[in-house]
Amino acid sequence: MFFSIDPHNGVAIYEQLVRQVKFGVAEGTLRPGQLLPSARVLSQQLAINPNTINRAFQQLQAEGVLESVRGKGLAVCVRSLAACRKARQTLLEQRIREVLSEALHAGLPSDEVRELFLQQLKELNGRVATVSSTGSEEISERVQ
């Protein structure tokens, strides 16, 4: 699992972890029954406070994404796939709506906003840069 933590993006670090775990489940990177690294291990790898990771893990447990496996740690719940896909869809719809609203409030015509969106999508061409939990940069190429 690759985590990309940006302490300056305006989203709380624990919330970034929550989102990334949900996205990992939604896309199949994290599979039902798969164990997550411990909070201690992740805190060392990501150089963040273990309490922050524990807060994210507690939220994920409360939402039914993770479950405690006695003597082993936290694992992805078997029934979490649909909920994670829905959460991903909802979050991305909200963020896209905010960007589009900002562009329209800035006075850009709808056609120009549409062209900007399509141009940026074309430039990305399915390539997304991520930072692994070990700190080394990796490029994940996904063409959909």
For the chain, the domain total comes to 1
- Is 79 domain-assigned? yes
Please tell me the least confidently modeled range out of 4-8, 88-92, 105-109.
4-8
Tell me the pLDDT of the chain averaged across its residues.
Answer: 86
Task: Judge whether 28 lies within some domain.
Answer: yes
Q: Is residue 51 domain-resident?
A: yes
3 within some domain: no
Residue 106 confidence (pLDDT): 95
Over range 72-89, report the average pLDDT: 95
Q: Count of alpha carbons within 13 Å of 10, Cβ hemisphere only?
A: 0
Residue 104: pLDDT band with limits 50, 70, 90: very high
Judge whether 2 lies within some domain.
Answer: no
Rounded to the nearest 5 degrees, what angle is found at the Cα of 71, between the Cα atoms of 68 and 76? 30
At residue 39, the pLDDT reads 93
Task: Examine residue 104 and state whether it is found in any structural domain, yes or no.
Answer: yes
Domain around 93: 13-141
Where residue 91 sits, what CATH number does that domain have?
1.10.10.10
Rounded CA gap, 40 and 88, in Å? 27
Q: Is the pLDDT of residue 6 over 60?
A: yes
pLDDT band of residue 143 (cuts 50, 70, 90) is: very low
Q: What is the pLDDT of residue 25?
A: 95
What is residue 59's predicted lDDT score, i.e. its pLDDT? 97
Q: What is the mean pLDDT of residues 30-55?
A: 94
Domain annotation covers residue 90: yes
CA separation, residue 20 to residues 9, 39, 110 (Å): 14, 15, 31
Is residue 82 included in any domain, yes or no?
Answer: yes
Confidence of residue 127 (pLDDT cuts 50, 70, 90): confident
Angle at 14 (CA atoms; ends 89, 22), nearest 5 degrees? 30
- pTM comes to 0.77
pLDDT of residue 9: 87
